[in-house]
Amino acid sequence: MGELLLNTPKRNQLLKDGPPVPTRCQILGRGAYGTVFKAIYRDCAVAVKIIRAHAASTLHNESHLLNLEHRNIVRLLKLESAVQFGLVIMECPRGQCLQRIVDTLALPLMHRVLITLDVVAALRYCHSQNVLHLDVKPTNILVALGIKSSGVGNFSKVKRSYICKLCDFGSSIEMGEYCARQDPINANGTLRYMSPEALRLDSLSEASDIYSLGITMWQLQARRLPYHMLDCNETIAYQVVKHELRPDNYHQLKILALDSPSNSDWNFVNGNNADVTYRKANTSARRNLNLDPSYTAGRDLKKKHRRNRLALHFDSPAPEPSACLENAYSKLYKSCWVSAPQSRLSSFQLKHELELILCRSNKIV
């Protein structure tokens, strides 16, 4: 219903004219350099990202997917480019991005661990192929639903009906490749998840992806967007690099939010009403994702049905985890976001510690 048909004539038209006038059912997502649509390619349901030609580096970065084949990575089927636009055609499993799931459900610890293990597996494979993703965040993790998956490694008693796939390689680079980032505020990637070395425009490594994963792990637990009290990316970048600000430092975030120009009368004194619109547009960057009544007014029934459908995939057979296990999870993500890259957990260490939590939470001998 409403999918783009990606036969040769249609692809040539898209490469020349760009995205069609979208309908609501067609669009899967929007990014800084393009829009992702539902589509049909060779009789299969796919996703197609239509990228503007001036974002040639994004197309180059997406091409890193051509040599990657892993169960936890969205598969690239075809990449085409022309003078005006480029097309990235990818598999499109049935499911939702992790951000929408976090918006809807409070995930049990067991599933937060399983999701993180999937992403760790994807990153370990990318790194083994000399590719850094550099934009790990919940909106770039697709949760494919209805897929029977039994266990992680030797944990055969842990069962689930989903698998997570890392997607959107538009910010990826090959290890050792020069990364032309002149300004971290406008760089590829998402500033609120970027490591201090990325913000300083230093050389990047596997540890840069681990940092972003640590921020994502925190978000799965806290159900808030990173630095949700702050609107100003420049402030966030400065505080992360110079003062080691992290999203769990609520006291410091509150102080910074009170000192922020967006919370003063400066714009009104200067007659600038645009800031009012800006703050309204960025309410989602600060809101608590715990589905408070004011946010769900008028949408309760629809959201309840969606929540109930999703909850079927994220039931936990284990009892509620102890505070000790939650603290162990918190300790892990904090070990991923320390400032010095060499002091962060490696992907191997992170995998091992996550499996220990999984073992303890399910009392697997």
CATH number, domain containing residue 63: 3.30.200.20
Decide which of 91, 115, 149 is a domain's last residue. 91
pLDDT of residue 282: 44
Decide which of 48, 66, 91 is a domain's last residue. 91
Instruction: Answer yes or no: do 200 and 310 share one domain.
Output: yes
Instruction: Answer yes or no: do 197 and 310 share one domain.
Output: yes
pLDDT of residue 26: 83
Instruction: Answer yes or no: do 185 and 312 share one domain.
Output: yes
Instruction: Answer yes or no: do 71 and 103 share one domain.
Output: no
Instruction: Please compute the mean of the pLDDT values over residues 228-255 and round it to a whole number.
Output: 95
Other Cβ atoms closer than 10 A to 10? 15
Q: Please choose, from the candidates 39, 30, 35, 34, the residue with its C-alpha nearest in 3D space to the C-alpha of residue 11.
A: 39
Instruction: Answer yes or no: do 38 and 147 share one domain.
Output: no
Instruction: Please compute the mean of the pLDDT values over residues 87-115 and round it to a whole number.
Output: 93
Instruction: Answer yes or no: do 37 and 78 share one domain.
Output: yes
Which amino acid does the sequence have at 280?
K
Q: Which two tokens stand for residue 259?
A: 């000192």
| Residue 238 counted as domain residue | no
| Residue 85 counted as domain residue | yes
Is 35:50 a contact under the CB 8 Å cutoff? yes
| Residue 246 counted as domain residue | no
Instruction: Answer yes or no: do 44 and 169 share one domain.
Output: no
Q: In whole angstroms, what is the distance from residue 102 CA to residue 89 CA?
A: 26
Confidence of residue 284 (pLDDT cuts 50, 70, 90): very low
- Judged against a pLDDT cut of 60, whether residue 303 lies above it is answered with yes
Instruction: Please compute the mean of the pLDDT values over residues 158-173 and round it to a whole number.
Output: 90
- Count the domains in the chain: 2
pLDDT of residue 184: 58
pLDDT digits (tens, 9 = 90+) for 268-283: 233 333 333 333 334 4
Instruction: Please compute the mean of the pLDDT values over residues 240-263 and round it to a whole number.
Output: 88
| Residue 256 counted as domain residue | no
Q: Which two tokens stand for residue 212?
A: 């972003």
- Judged against a pLDDT cut of 90, whether residue 195 lies above it is answered with yes
Instruction: Answer yes or no: do 124 and 192 share one domain.
Output: yes
Instruction: Answer yes or no: do 75 and 108 share one domain.
Output: no
Confidence of residue 3 (pLDDT cuts 50, 70, 90): confident
Domain that holds residue 115: 95-224+288-362
Which amino acid does the sequence have at 283?
T
| Residue 261 counted as domain residue | no
CATH number, domain containing residue 168: 1.10.510.10
The model's pTM is 0.84
Instruction: Answer yes or no: do 99 and 54 share one domain.
Output: no
- Judged against a pLDDT cut of 90, whether residue 198 lies above it is answered with yes
Instruction: Answer yes or no: do 99 and 81 share one domain.
Output: no
Instruction: Answer yes or no: do 52 and 172 share one domain.
Output: no
| Residue 196 counted as domain residue | yes
| Residue 25 counted as domain residue | yes
| Residue 214 counted as domain residue | yes
Decide which of 40, 69, 91 is a domain's last residue. 91
Task: Work out the angle at residue 153's Cα, subtended by the Cα atoms of residues 151 and 159, and round it to the nearest 5 degrees.
Answer: 5
